[in-house]
Chain A
Amino acid sequence: MANTMTVETTAGTRVFKTSKYNRREALAGYLFISPWIVGFLIFTLGAMIYSLVISFTYYQLATNTARPAGLANYEALFDDPKVMMSLGNTLFYAVLAVPLEIIFALFLAMLLNNVRRGAGVFRTLYYLPKMTPAVATASVFFLLLNGNQGAINKGLAAIGIQGPQWLLDPNWVKPSIVLMTLWGVSGTMVIFLAALKTVPRDLYEVAQIDGAGPVRRFFSITLPMISGAMFFNVIVLTIAALQTFDQAYLLFYRDTGTGAPDASLFYAIYLFQQAFRQFNFGFAAAMAWLLFLIIMIISLVQVKLGNRFVYYESER
């Protein structure tokens, strides 16, 4: 019914449209957004099309020629064991890192939210790691995580725990990176803190009068009220985890002379190696599209789940 309405009034809407938009104003609007349009056409849309084209070719950087390859690059994705291995590593890391980051960030945020004096000072201190460049973090943790002499293992030894060879033992490579990520979790914490501040205090009061304990208050009030921020953090952290590059590169792949444990081969690292060390641009482009597909699927699943669980106050 709505369709027939619009068809019938096509001529009418056209007249209406010209009167709705002031021509000078529209032109000025387009002029103001033109930088973004140009950038989008070249560096986003253009780049994506270019990438898609290249993924079906053998691209030669030296001669700037692209020999058609058909689906060969995509077939190679499944033939190359390192692609699947790096994908497995990356997914494993994401599954390990994201929940820990969420829990730790929320814990810290609630800790800060409940303190009445000095919250500002602590928030500043907690935020400092976020300001530290990845190179500095990696170079310090490279030494702190040293299996024999590092401060972390010496600290563990002091309480009677034999620390692992963090950066050498394949089983502990990913937990090492998780540890570094957790140290810089304050960006996520700040979002949770802001969300916690918007939870009306009277809800807690009423719940307390009704006899709800702290655990019940957390699950029935806090969690639903901050579910929007939770949803956002999960999506952003997942996308970031799937593209982890800096820490792994600095700890294991910076020095091409030494062999790195297979457990540290992340997808973004392997993509980088294929593109900018081996110059297999066609293969790297195919890898990028596979990652894109995976990220899209995961994000879609998260959005679908999120719609079920996220509570928006305005929808009540």
Chain B
Amino acid sequence: MKIGVITYPGTLDDRDAQRAIKLAGATPVPLWHASDDLKGIDAVVLPGGFSYGDYLRCGAIAAQAPATKEVIKKAEKGLPILGICNGFQVLVEAHLLPGGLIRNEKQHFVCRDQRLRVENSDTRWTGMFSENEEITIPLKNGEGGYIADDETLKYLEDENLIAFRYLDVNPNGSMNEIAGLSNKQGNIVGLMPHPEHAVEPGFGPDTPIATRSGIDGLRFFQSVIGQVVG
């Protein structure tokens, strides 16, 4: 199975995402923003960072890139797409997920190991979690405050499209404690926390068992592998 990772100018976590894909058991395929050749991938990750320097709005210019336009075309046909942090912002700017992401409520860049609750385990990227499971995933963002109008929020709640909610603290003032969303078909998931930073013992967040032993992020990638192959 081949999972693409798009690199935009200013992307930071493309190599970590590739590494996570490899650890999960699939083949990472580096993709370049300026090319519309998706190289026959079975799924794609839009990684974190500051694409195009966050110019205009976070993710706005990346949403217009040739590689992204090709991803948008394939989204309707069910291509599994995971947007992480800046990648989530790209998905929102590309209108693949609703709402918007604005500067954190308290204006500070936040970096912490964040507790999350899995609200929807019925997506291509969350199938290996159990419903309401509590996981810990590193979070690092300056513009992660999720906002949407009342109608959109009601739609997201009614259709169970909120994939993850923040637990313990709401780090960025997101409405309804929204940390991540999915689309209705479940092939597209976007979230602010970084699952690719919690995939290898010794390098993940602390757990009650041991320091840096958290690997809750690995199952995002294992989920899509299991479901595409199976």
Q: Is B one of A's binding partners?
A: no
